[in-house]
Structure 1
């Protein structure tokens, strides 16, 4: 299962509906937050309470510290974490509901909840924080909540692999762009300045991962593939046998939901998460 990335890519798509919902910005602004990125940063980190910009920068990894500082701690003066989390859950419900016709939502939610129950959260702080958020009472909310915990679990694993490989946030994003996994506007989306981005590309060039034009080299392609393979192994190590079995069982249904989201245009590709279609 871990080597077949359809499961992980589908998890990503289900979670990601909250980032691409056309009214996400307006929903957060209705709470008093200011702009899309304050809503993004606050909603993704609210499971931790009212974390500082430094903590959130560490957990998110790929975002420029300046972007996070523009959102926090100001967001916590404008809205409570509980209200922010509820708004995000409402966005998720509204985005997922139209693509779930014919899906046994309760079964998928139960299977994913069993995956969550079998995760080892040691070293996975963002996933652990979301796991501590009480699960919603409705089927669609439960499905999205469980998918979110699993998504952040893989994200925490991926960040560990990136840092072990010596990749800072800007360099990791620049590598994803060079590999064709993230859109060309990734620099501005993640808040990096031109100078910071150029320095990141230079660091990749020193490794031989990109050439003088910033294009991916064979060495860089191999390194990026190794990062994904290592992430797979780290993720697999933290799933017990029961969780692994549940993930295998639910993969087909989950992939169907993810492809419905793709067909509906609810999650565009390529996108800043740098995760391909399932």
Structure 2
């Protein structure tokens, strides 16, 4: 009997649309409304609270360490103060309500309650069975949360686990490559796939001076050229980082198997494309501008 071999980039290709749909809730009006009802109104406080709530009422140091590319001073302005406004338990419940509402708005109730969504949830949860907690704090925290019974929320929960599992491994690869949080953002933006500097400044707490200093450091290492583009060495480093991230994140997709990964990717792409077409993301989010 011949065992099918998982293609090297199959896991990455599968996670991309899973992550895309997951990320829509950060930009949804439903999330802002739910957190505002708890008394959390600053956009950065909302972001820190919903993603860190699974960790419990942690301080700024833990959030800055696990989020990696946010300026510590920005985090400290909102954490741990946000936990005095709303408990992690209440934030998690509000997040679930927001996800439910935003998925129904972006995908439509027919899709949310479809057999395809239920199938996607089963496949994604199957993949998470091979995720590992050691060295992966954000994944481990979310893995301790109960799996929702509703298929679309179970799918979103599994997407969260797969996203944070890869993300935790990605931070290990960035550390090994010698890139700090802002340098990681600058080099990612230089690939044309990361956030624009405008969004980095608005959401991560960095200034133009911080950005320019990071660019200067990267030029000294020969990773960026005079125009801010990746050099050959810079492009190679980014490729190595993604390859190492793939290696560290391979287990869930090997566990699901090639056929399962192919089917989950197909379903996830359909959901993500529908959400994007419905205006889930700001038009100026991506790119180098």
CA distances 1:197-243 after superposition (whole Å, capped 9, x unpaired): 2221111111111122323223222222222122111111x437433
Question: Does the CA-based 8 Å contact 2:34-2:97 persist in structure 1?
Answer: no
Q: How far is the alpha carbon of 1:84 from its aligned partner?
A: 0.5
Q: RMSD between aligned alpha carbons?
A: 2.0
| 1:125 counterpart residue number | 137
2:216 is equivalent to residue 202 of structure 1: yes
CA distances 1:43-72 after superposition (whole Å, capped 9, x unpaired): 100001111110111000011111111110
Aligned length: 272
Query: For 1:2-21, what aligned pairs fall within 5 Å after superposition?
Result: 2-4=8-10, 5-21=12-28
2:79 is equivalent to residue 80 of structure 1: no
| 1:239 counterpart residue number | 252
| 1:68 counterpart residue number | 75
Q: Distance in 1 between matches of 2:227 and 2:255?
A: 47
Q: Please, which moves more after superposition, 19-28 or 73-82?
A: 19-28
2:269 is equivalent to residue 255 of structure 1: yes
Q: The residue matched to 2:252 in structure 1 has which SS?
A: coil
Structure 1 residue ranges (4+ consecutive) displaced by more than 6 angstroms after TM superposition: none
Question: What is the TM-score of this pair, normalised by structure 1?
Answer: 0.90
Q: For residues 94 and 148 of structure 1, do their structure 2 counterparts lie closer, same or farther at Cα, with a shift above 3 Å needed?
A: same
Q: The residue matched to 1:51 in structure 2 has which SS?
A: coil
Asked which structure has the greater CA Rg, the reply is: 2
2:122 is equivalent to residue 110 of structure 1: yes
| 1:169 counterpart residue number | 181
Uncovered stretches (5+) of structure 1, i.e. residues with no partner: none
Uncovered stretches (5+) of structure 2, i.e. residues with no partner: 1-6
Question: Does the CA-based 8 Å contact 2:39-2:86 persist in structure 1?
Answer: yes
CA distances 1:132-185 after superposition (whole Å, capped 9, x unpaired): 111122122111111111111111111111111011001111112222222131
Question: What is the TM-score of this pair, normalised by structure 2?
Answer: 0.87
Q: Distance in 1 between matches of 2:281 and 2:246?
A: 23
Q: The residue matched to 1:59 in structure 2 has which SS?
A: helix
Q: Distance in 2 between matches of 1:209 and 1:112?
A: 36
Q: How far is the alpha carbon of 1:244 from its aligned partner?
A: 4.0
Q: Distance in 2 between matches of 1:244 and 1:201?
A: 41
Q: Distance in 2 between matches of 1:234 and 1:85?
A: 28
